[in-house]
Amino acid sequence: MKREGLIRTFYRDHLRTYRLTAQAKAQLMAEQPGRFSFYLEGNSDTNLLKGEFTRRLRLYQIAVVYVNMKLAGVHIFRDIKPEVFSPSGSPVSHIGEPAFYSSREVKDLGMEAAKIRGSRMAGVLLSPSGIFSVYNNGDSLTRWENRSELRVKALLQMELCQRRLHSQYQMDDVKALLFGDSMELAYEILVAGREKKQNYFILDGNYEHFYYLTNNPHGETLLRLLCNPAMTAELDRILGQGFGERIPDWHIENDAIDRSGEPVLFGYFFDLPRIARFNAALSLQGKGGTLVCFDFQCDVLRRYCIPAMRFQTIDFTKFNRRFFP
C-alpha cells in the first residue's frame, strides 16, 4: 500500500503509525461514500491529524477493536448496520445481528453524548445476547474514571433500554466487555481488584458482568460465541452433562452442582466480577468448587483462585473445530 501511495508512515515520540494519504481517502470516497464519508469528511475524529501519544494510542486501540469485531462476524460498516444512535431515533426496534458502534458513532446522539465525555469506552456492541460497553486496555492496566464510565452505563440504559430498543433490551442487559493483549493482564486486573487498587472499578459491582477477551484468535472465537445465545446454550448443555442442575438464588452463584453437592461455575467467558464473586464466596464459606474454563485461561485462574478450587478445562482446538468448523 505504501508503494501504491495509499498509506504513509508517521513517526513521533518513538511511536510509528500509518496514515491514509489524500489519494487513499479520495479513492474510498469515490468507491463507497456511504461507508466511509462519516470517517473522512469534515471535522470527524478520524479525519483529524493527531500527533499526541495518548490520542494516537486511543485510535490504535479502537482500530484493534474494529478488527476483532470484523473477524468475529460483527457488522462494523455504517452502510450495513442500522443507525441506532441517529439524532432522529433508531430506524429499528430490534437487533437481529451483532453490530459494533464506535464511541464516535455514539456521539450521533447529540447533546446527550456530552455526558460521557472522558470515558475510555471504544464503542458499543449490540447483539441478541445484550448491550456491551466495549473497552481495550491493550498491554497495560488502565486508571478508570469511575464517574465517566457509570455515566456510559446510565446513558445506554436510558437511550437503548428505555427508548430506542426497549422492546428487546432490559436494564440489566447492559454489560461490559474488555479486550487485552494477554491473559496475564487479566490476572493483574483480578489481583488489583482484590486489593482494591486502581482497577477496582471492574470488580466493585458497577457492571454485574465484565467480560475479558484477548486480542487474538482466542478472543475472536469467544466474541463469536458471546454474540450467539443459542450456541452458548448448547455449550452450557454439553458442559452440564454429569452435573446436577444449578441452584437458583443460592448464596454461592453457580451454573451446576457436582456429585458432592459443591458449586460449579462456567467461567469460559472470563467474566471478571463473576469469577471474583465465586472465588470469594467459596473462601468465605470454606468450601470447594469447580471452575470450568478454556485451557488457555487455566494458568491465570489457578494462580488467582483459592487452593480448594478445582478446574475442568475445555480444549480450545476441539471446541473451535466443533462449533466453528
Q: What is the pLDDT of residues 114-169, one digit of tens each?
A: 888 889 999 999 999 999 999 999 999 888 888 999 999 999 999 999 999 999 99
45 falls in which pLDDT band (50, 70, 90)?
A: low
CB-neighbour burial class of residue 97 (10 A; exposed 0-12, middle 13-18, buried 19+): middle
Quick check: 66 pLDDT over 90? yes
Distance between CA atoms of residues 84 and 159, nearest Å: 10
Distance between CA atoms of residues 261 and 299, nearest Å: 25
Long-range contacts of 99-103 (CB under 8 A, 24+ apart): 99/74, 99/75, 99/125, 99/126, 99/127, 100/65, 100/66, 100/69, 100/74, 100/75, 100/76, 100/124, 100/125, 100/126, 100/134, 101/125, 101/126, 102/62, 102/66, 103/62
pTM given for the model: 0.93
Dihedrals φ, ψ of 311, to 5°?
A: -125, 140
- In this prediction, residues 231-238 reach a mean pLDDT of 98
Quick check: 41 pLDDT over 80? no
291-318 per-position pLDDT tens digit: 999 999 999 999 999 999 999 999 999 9
Instruction: Decide: 64 and 136 in contact? Cβ < 8 Å.
Output: yes
DSSP 45: G
249-291 per-position pLDDT tens digit: 999 999 999 999 999 999 999 999 999 999 999 999 999 999 9
Give residue 226's region: left, alpha or beta (phi > 0; psi -120 to 50). alpha
**Please, what is the average pLDDT of the chain?**
92
Distance between CA atoms of residues 293 and 209, nearest Å: 16
Quick check: 198 pLDDT over 60? no
Given this model, what pLDDT does residue 89 score?
92
Distance between CA atoms of residues 271 and 255, nearest Å: 13
Q: Which of 96, 116, 98 is nearest to 106 (CA)?
A: 116
CA dihedral 155, 159, 162, 163 (to 10 degrees): 170
- In this prediction, residues 188-209 reach a mean pLDDT of 81
Given this model, what pLDDT does residue 53 score?
77
